[in-house]
Amino acid sequence: MKRDLTRLLHAQRHAAGQAPFPSLSTRRERLARLARMTKHHQRDIIHAIQTDFGKRSGTEIRLAEISAVLQATRHTRRHLWHWMRPYAANMPWRLWPARARIAPQPLGVVGVMSPWNYPWSLALMPAIDAFAAGNSVMIKPSEYAPNTSALLAKLVPQYFTDEELCVVEGGPEIAKAFSALPFDHLVFTGSTQVGRQVALAAAEQLTPVTLELGGKSPAIVASDANLDRAAASIIFGKGMNAGQTCIAPDYVLVESRHLEALIQALSRAIEQQRPSDKESTGFVSPNHQQRSERLIAQARDHGCRIIDVGHHAPALVIDPTQNLELMREEIFGRALPLISVKSIDDAIAFVNARPHPLALYAFTDNKSLQTTLRHATRSGALVFNETLLHHAVPSLPFGGVGESGTGAYHGRHGFERFSHLRGIFYQSKRATSSLIRPPYKRWLLKLLRIG
C-alpha cells in the first residue's frame, strides 16, 4: 500500500509540474465541482454520518458539515481573483527606483489527514484552501468514520481526476505511511498526542505542517455578563455533536458569588435546548462513549456535585478537583466542569497556567476587561459573548497556538498557508546600484547611512 501512496503522490506531482500555475478559471471550476459534490449528495452524506455515529442530528450535520463547505467555497470563489494577484512590497529608498512584489505560487501537493468528529467538512475545508492556492490534494480520512470515508472515496473520482484530488482509506498503518510521504504541505486535525507523531514523521521529509489539535478551551463568565445569554451560548457550544468538537467549551470559570446563579441559568438552557434525545448525537465508537461516561462517573466517585439530566445533554460537574481526568485531558464529551474563582484575575491566571487553548470564550461587555483578555491571554481564537460561531467566519484564521496547534487556515489565510509567497525583485534600467559596488567610497557610504 505504501507503494500505491507513493504512486499517487508522484502522479499528482507530475501533473503539478505539467501545469505549475493553474489559472483562476481552473481553480474556481475545481471549487465549483467540490461544492456540487457536497450539495448534490446531501442525503448520502447525512446518512453516512448518522450511520457512523449511530445517531446524529440531521440539522447539525447540515449546519456543521454541508453548509460549512458550501459557504467556504462561495467565499473563496468570490475573492480568489484578488488573492492571486501579486502585490507590492515596500522598497528601501536606497534601492530606488527598483521595485519589489510578492507573488503567491502553488506549493504542489497538499496532504490532508482529517478526523472523525466532523468527517465531511474537516476533510474538505483544507482542500478548499489548497485548491484555491493551485495545489492538488490527497486526503486520508479517519478510519473511525468508515461510512463517511467510503462515501468520500466513492464520490471524489466522479468529480475529480486522481491528479487533482484523491482519497486514501485505511487504518493506523496507512495513516503512518501517509504522514511520512514527502508532501509539499501536510494538514492534520486530531489529538495532540497523534499530532506529535505526525509532526515527527513529517519532519523526516522536511514537510511543513499545519496541526489543528484542540485542547481544553475555557469559557470565562464575568460579573457583568448576562447569565442567561452566556448559559445559552455555552450549552449550544457544548451540546453540538455531544461535545465532540475541538472548539467546544471544555470548562467554565466563574466568580464564586455567581456560581449558583450560573448553574441555574445553565440548567434552564439545557432544558430549553436539550429537552429530550430528539436532536442528540451518539458516539463514533463504544470506547468513545465509555470514556465520556467514565469521566462523569470518576467525578461523582470523588464526591463532585453532578447535575445530569441524561445522556442526551451536557452534564454539569461542579468544582472538580484538578487531579481528575476531566481536568487533565480534553473532555471531548458531554461533561462540563464549572470552576469557581475569587476574581477574574484568578480566572485569567488559571487559563495562563495551562497550555494555550484553541479557543478562549469570554462573556463580558466590559471594554476594559476585553482589552485585558486580548493582551494577557494567548489562544488560537478569542471569542466574546458566543461559542463556536467564529469557525463560521471564512475571513478569520482558524488555528491553534502551542499545544493547540501550529498554523492557521480558512479563507485568505488558508490560501496563503498553502502558497509559497514568492519575493520578486525588479531592477530598473535607471538603477543606481553600481554606486554601492566596490571600490567603496566613504563619502557615499556616509550619505547612504551605511556603516
Query: What distances in angstroms separate CA 450 from CA 100, 330, 436, 440, 443, one per listed residue?
Result: 21, 54, 10, 11, 10
Write down the residue that cell numbers 451536557 correspond to. Answer: 314
Label each residue of 380-410 as H, E or C. Answer: CEEEECCCCHHHHCCCCCEECCHHHEECEEC
Q: What is the DSSP string of 59-119?
A: HHHIIIIIHHHHHHHHHHHHHHHHHHS-EEE---GGGTT-EEEEEEEE-SEEEEE--SSST
Is 246 one of the annotated active-site residues of the chain?
A: yes
Out of 65, 212, 403, 416, pick the active-site residue.
Answer: 212
CA distance 256 to 339: 8
Please give the angle made by the CA atoms of 79, 82 and 87, to the nearest 5 degrees. 150
Please give the angle made by the CA atoms of 385, 67 and 77, to the nearest 5 degrees. 105
Is 166 one of the annotated active-site residues of the chain?
A: no
Out of 60, 164, 246, 330, pick the active-site residue.
Answer: 246
Residue 356 neighbours by CB under 8 Å, 6+ apart: 215, 378, 379, 380, 400, 401, 402, 403, 404
Which long-range CB contacts under 8 A does 374-380 form with residues at least 24 apart? Answer: 376/348, 376/352, 377/348, 377/351, 377/352, 378/352, 378/402, 379/217, 379/404, 380/356, 380/404, 380/405, 380/408
Catalytic residue numbers?
212, 246
